[in-house]
Amino acid sequence: MTRNLAPTPGRGFDRIDIREAAEPRASAISLAPEARIQLNAALKADRPPGEDAAERSVVRGVLRAIHLDEQWLSVTDSQDPTRHTKIGRTSDAIDDIIGPMVNHAVVVETVRDQRGRHVFRDIELAANA
């Protein structure tokens, strides 16, 4: 969630300051685009061991559908709107983090299971959207 607060380079704003409401004069925590990059690196380093690079995949497109009960999402290819990719096992992140991304360009990192299906690992708004 913190990564999603950090600005994306070249989009909207270049820094966000977070401070306690009860103490407005207290020093703030500042998040800049560099923080997003560092948070991405930390999240990738925390991935489960054993995920072979050959299994990893990146899906880019527009987030068009989510199913809260079945915990999957669907991304439509930006270049070919008839091509949809279903990504499963999104867990509880789907409503709080992913919900606001619907109808926006996203980048989804997945791994493939034994049947070749995409399994959710991470999602963020596309930087050039």
Burial category of 27 from C-beta neighbours within 10 Å (exposed 0-12, middle 13-18, buried 19 and up): exposed
Express each pLDDT in 54-85 by its tens digit: 588 899 999 999 988 888 999 999 889 899 99
Express each pLDDT in 83-123 by its tens digit: 999 999 887 666 677 888 899 999 998 988 888 899 998 88
**Prediction pTM value:** 0.68
List where CATH 2.40.50 sits in the chain.
56-125
User: Which value, to the nearest 10 degrees, does the dihedral of the CA atoms of residues 69, 70, 73, 76 take?
Assistant: -110
Architecture of the domain spanning 56-125: Beta Barrel (2.40)
